[in-house]
Structure 1
Amino acid sequence: MFLPLKDSNPLKVIPFQIVTVGLIAACVATFLWQMSLPDEAGFEAILSFGMIPAVIFDFEELPPELAVIPAGATLITSMFMHGGWLHLGGNMLYLWVFGDNIEDAMGHVRFIVFYVLCGTAAALAHGLSDPDSISPLIGASGGVSGVLGAYLLLHPKVRVIVLLFYRFPLPLPAFIVLGGWVALQAYNIYLDGGLPDGDGGGTAWWAHVGGFVAGMGLILVMKRRDVPLFDRGRY
């Protein structure tokens, strides 16, 4: 429907969004490493470092040669792996557009903690939706969804330039852009009958919802005290 390109929301406290850029660089580097592996080794890497619900909840065990890290650690490692260039590019674009202002609202260190907690909540939400699943979950969308939830509460009226129908640039308030994103998640969950393995093309819709809700909750306690909710600025 539309793709965000940039917002009109300058940084107020930090001079540069070093964590946001660092997360993007880490995801890109991890994906390049994935692409450098032979097909079989690449699939094994996803099994080893992706979050597999049945393994997390002790319904299944990975073979010893694949269980290279504790199962709980995959809640984090899975956030840096991606299934393709479009998967990576979409997540990194949203993180680039919206992440800097959330980092600005809480500082560098808190933003790292915030991002990891949102990604973990997203992975658990996905896992709880189908705890017997042996399909690995990968991608930064859980953490990014948390960023979107926080942004909606902090800057609902900021103008965001979007590419409407992927062709026409159009300025829209953030609450329209992010509200449309939420509606898309709800619509796809409805199409899938509320199940994680419906017709969503492998997209973990419940992870998006879990991350978004976590972001809305965490921003309330992790933002600096002088940062208001529902900033009226349009910029």
Structure 2
Amino acid sequence: SVGASGAIAGVLGAYMVSYPFARVLTLVPIFIFLQVIEIPAVLLLVFWFLMQFLYGAASLASTSANAGGVAWWAHVGGFTIGIILVGLFPRKDRPRYGYSRS
């Protein structure tokens, strides 16, 4: 069954466009230890998108019905749509053009 993961991917794409200089704390395994490092959110999201795309492409070559190809492509599509559609929503820190209340 297809869940809300495509919509969540859309939120991730919109976040990447809306906050291009944001940084996130990330757990990174170093040998047997976990280290918390701060990295640019764009770097993490581009890596995540590429992984979704590559898994989706690999699922096309799979003959197994359990490859999950629809889910990978839902993530790719949702992320892409989030990037495209985020411009339709006004942001409070951006000036709006048109009529204003006086």
**TM-score, reference length from structure 1:** 0.34
Q: Which residue of 1 aligns with 2:11?
A: 147
Q: Are the structure 2 counterparts of residues 176 and 186 from structure 1 closer, same or farther at C-alpha, using a change threshold of 3 Å?
A: same
What SS does the corresponding residue of 2:91 show, helix, strand or coil?
coil
- Deviations, residues 85-108 of structure 1 (Å, cap 9, x unaligned): xxxxxxxxxxxxxxxxxxxxxxxx
Structure 1 alignment gaps of length 5 or more:
1-135, 229-235
- Deviations, residues 185-234 of structure 1 (Å, cap 9, x unaligned): 11101211277x66645770011011111111211011326439xxxxxx
Of structures 1 and 2, the one with the larger relative CO (CA 8 A, separation 6+) is 2
RMSD, aligned α-carbons: 2.8
Q: Which residue of 2 aligns with 1:60?
A: none
Structure 1 contact 160–174 (Cα < 8 Å) conserved: yes
- 1:171 matches 2:38: yes
Runs of 4+ residues deviating >2 angstroms: 165-168, 197-203, 223-228
After TM superposition, give the deviation of residue 160 of structure 1 in Å. Answer: 0.4
**Cα separation, 1, equivalents of 2:77 and 2:58:** 18
- 1:211 matches 2:78: yes
- 1:221 matches 2:85: no
The alignment covers a number of residue pairs equal to: 91
Structure 1 contact 189–205 (Cα < 8 Å) conserved: yes
Higher share of residues assigned helix:
1
Higher share of residues assigned strand:
2
Structure 2 alignment gaps of length 5 or more:
96-102
**Cα separation, 2, equivalents of 1:168 and 1:198:** 37
**Cα separation, 1, equivalents of 2:28 and 2:94:** 31
**TM-score, reference length from structure 2:** 0.72
**Cα separation, 2, equivalents of 1:199 and 1:156:** 35
Paired-residue identity, %:
38
